[in-house]
């Protein structure tokens, strides 16, 4: 394990039984509040998509836009977009975006939820990187990929600070042909 991962793991607070019994809530507010951890997380999320001395090609920015999922994906995605010189696209809960939207429903453990994106948020064929804080079952991220594809995006990869691999979300995205980068993994849910 690298020093960076140790720093990230230590900076994430675990709250048992939130928001309901049996859930170990992985709270990244402590990571965001720690300048070294926040910076290390953003550096690591950016690295696969930025040019470096050892990997001069492709061009400095391999993505045109970063899409972040409400709400923690906005904080991380905004920072990643800035670092990549890319635009930012908010993927929001139903009813929040002011202009014409495309909407998708997806299954939760109990019931369904809906997310939306502005219909004109990307140009046809634009390369988009999806960012969120955590991937669990993958329901939210798979829906976001589908939504972005519907408005013409070429979703090139997805990245998350935290993976809960036992819940299979990252595997689902990879099965859709999408490269997935995660920084820290926790067993269980």
Query: How far from 134 is each of 70, 121, 148, 182, 185, CA to CA, in Å?
Result: 12, 23, 19, 9, 10
Q: Give the total of residues touching ligand AMP (CB under 6 A).
A: 17
Closer CB to ligand AMP, 140 or 182, in the complex = 140
Q: Quick check: 139 binds ligand AMP (CB under 6 A)?
A: yes
For residue 112, give every residue at least 6 positions away whose Cβ sits within 8 Å of its Cβ, in sequence order, or none. 105, 106
Q: Which of 69, 84, 117, 170 binds ligand AMP (CB under 6 A)?
A: 69
Residues from 72 through 131 that contact ligand AMP (CB under 6 A): 72
Active site residue 149: no
CB of 26 to ligand AMP, least distance (A): 4
Q: Quick check: 5 binds ligand AMP (CB under 6 A)?
A: no
CA–CA separation, 59 vs 180, rounded Å? 20
Q: Which of 11, 12, 26, 163 binds ligand AMP (CB under 6 A)?
A: 26
Closer CB to ligand AMP, 64 or 90, in the complex = 90
Catalytic residue among 26, 72, 92, 116: 72
Contact call for residues 44 and 69 (beta carbons, < 8 A): no
Q: Quick check: 171 binds ligand AMP (CB under 6 A)?
A: no
Q: Quick check: 68 binds ligand AMP (CB under 6 A)?
A: no
Q: Quick check: 138 binds ligand AMP (CB under 6 A)?
A: yes
Measured at the alpha carbon of residue 186, what is the angle toward residues 182 and 188, in degrees to the nearest 5? 125
CA–CA separation, 75 vs 140, rounded Å? 17
Active site residue 26: no
CA–CA separation, 61 vs 136, rounded Å? 28
Measured at the alpha carbon of residue 62, what is the angle toward residues 59 and 66, in degrees to the nearest 5? 145
Which residues of the chain form contacts with ligand AMP (CB under 6 A)? 23-26, 69, 72, 132-141, 169
Active site residues: 72, 109
């Amino acid at each position: 394990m690298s020093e960076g991962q140790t720093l990230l793991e230590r900076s994430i607070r675990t709250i048992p039984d939130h928001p309901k019994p049996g859930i170990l809530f992985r709270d990244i507010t402590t990571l965001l509040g720690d300048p070294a951890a926040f910076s290390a997380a953003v550096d690591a999320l950016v690295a696969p998509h930025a040019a470096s001395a050892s990997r001069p090609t492709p061009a400095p920015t391999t993505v045109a836009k970063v899409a972040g999922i409400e709400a923690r994906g906005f904080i991380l995605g905004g920072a990643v977009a800035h670092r990549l010189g890319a635009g930012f696209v908010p993927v929001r809960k139903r009813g929040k975006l002011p202009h014409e939207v495309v909407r998708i429903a997806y299954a939760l453990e109990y019931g369904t939820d809906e997310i939306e994106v502005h219909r004109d948020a990307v140009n046809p064929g634009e390369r988009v990187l999806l960012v969120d804080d955590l991937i669990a079952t993958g329901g939210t991220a798979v829906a976001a990929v589908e939504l972005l594809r519907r408005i013409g995006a070429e979703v090139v990869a997805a990245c998350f600070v935290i993976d809960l691999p036992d819940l299979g979300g990252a595997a689902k995205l990879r099965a859709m042909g999408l490269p997935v980068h995660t920084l820290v993994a926790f067993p269980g849910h």
